[in-house]
Amino acid sequence: MGYLTKPYYPLYAELREAGPVVRQADGSHLVGTYHEITALLHDPRMSADPRTRGETTHKPPFLRLDDPEHHRLRTLAMRPFGPPHSPGRIDAMRGVIAAITMELLQTIQDREQIDVVDAFAYPLPVTVICRLLGVPREDEPLFREWSDAIVTSADVRPEADTTEQDQAGEQARIEMGQYLANLAEQRRGHPTDDMLSAFTNEPDPALRLTHEELAETAVLLLIAGHETTVNLITNGALTLLRHPDQLDRLRRDPDLLPRAVEELLRYEPPVHMRQRTPLADVDIAGTTIPKGTSVTLVLASGNRDPKRFHEPDRFDPTRPDNQHLGFGSGIHLCFGAPLARIEAQAALSALVPHLGAARLVQDPPPYRQNAMLRGPRHLPIQL
């Protein structure tokens, strides 16, 4: 997996030049071109389940399951989250998100230097997802250490010995799952207006999650509900500071912000890759990928494919036809996308007026050591 040891975007250009499908020395394959990635994400023969690669014997969360089990659990998780059963849930969060954003903004008003991650990009989405699930505010700090361990264990690092980080990730997942399942159990018979309560008090036995499924689903929602959005907001602030002409344009025309967020999801996405395993031999772009082979779909490379996007290395908030892979595609398309969009728009709308005179303290900033989830660990800026 030597492709993952160089700077990312020049590396992805090399990957695309090497061919739509590139076989690695260990027998795995990398796919970095837009149309081939999209085709494989929609191919039912491509499994998301790590058990097909022998990585685990435990049943994973639904994000990493295949249909029909993926569809069953995703449908049950969606019931208290969005349409058609809870159509107003996310829209009702707009006011809450705006209020949290303003609270955070006030804490940085008189400061000369801030870390965008610690002061803003992390607290906003973690507070929002905790409110949605029903986690008490005083318990929110518990989740950062758990989240870091779980995300580290999910990284794509086939050449490294990951035993220690895998064990730490599994322990963190167990502890977080137990906490969330116990919290949900406290709501049984005493419903409140949150998702854990909705899971526990579902009146139809056929639509209830088991204790284990509830714990795993709640962990997935909490991790996916904030980790990727932290990166989206931080990558957004970094990109705008690197493109002062576009930052000035957004300051003058705030109505461009929703399109700018879509362009950020293409240009600097929070999730760079996903792993799949063929359940049968799969032919793609003249290459046969054998059954059981590990395949890494490099979404961020597909987002910069010149065969799909005009001038793909240019950040253009007015880009037309921007069908990016920032939220994936196919049956595993991120169902939290509407919430992430609202959070990113609220956060950047609040930050943009303050970034005009700001400058990066360090460029590039320190990044997470994670190939799959891409974003700065810290983003210090001088206001």
Q: What pLDDT does 241 receive?
A: 97
Q: What pLDDT does 144 receive?
A: 80
Residues of the chain with pLDDT > 90: what percent?
Answer: 76
Q: What pLDDT does 166 receive?
A: 77
Burial class (CB in 10 A: 0-12, 13-18, 19+), 84: exposed
- Confidence band of 157 (pLDDT split at 50, 70, 90): low
Q: What pLDDT does 22 receive?
A: 96
Question: Does residue 9 surpass a pLDDT of 80?
Answer: yes
* 110-131 average pLDDT score: 93
Residues of the chain with pLDDT > 70: what percent?
Answer: 96
Residue 32, SS3?
coil
Give the type of residue at 260: A
Question: Worst-scoring range by mean pLDDT, 12-26, 211-225, 295-309?
Answer: 211-225
Q: Are 111 and 137 in contact (CB under 8 A)?
A: no
Q: What pLDDT does 154 receive?
A: 67
Is the bond preceding residue 20 a cis peptide, omega within 30 degrees? no
User: What domains are there in the chain, each with its CATH number?
Assistant: 2-382 (1.10.630.10)
Q: Average pLDDT over the chain, rounded to whole?
A: 91
- Confidence band of 142 (pLDDT split at 50, 70, 90): confident
Question: Does residue 159 surpass a pLDDT of 70?
Answer: no
* 178-204 average pLDDT score: 94
- CA-CA distance, 223 to 212, in Å (whole number)? 17
Q: What pLDDT does 283 receive?
A: 96
Q: What pLDDT does 274 receive?
A: 95
Question: Does residue 88 surpass a pLDDT of 50?
Answer: yes
Run of H or E residues at 287: strand 287-289
DSSP assignment string, 256-277: GHHHHHHHHHHHS-SB--EEEE
Give the type of residue at 258: P
- Confidence band of 1 (pLDDT split at 50, 70, 90): very low
Residue 335, Cβ neighbours under 10 Å: how many? 17
The pLDDT tens digits of the residues spanning 265-287 come to: 999 999 999 999 999 999 999 99
Q: What pLDDT does 160 receive?
A: 63
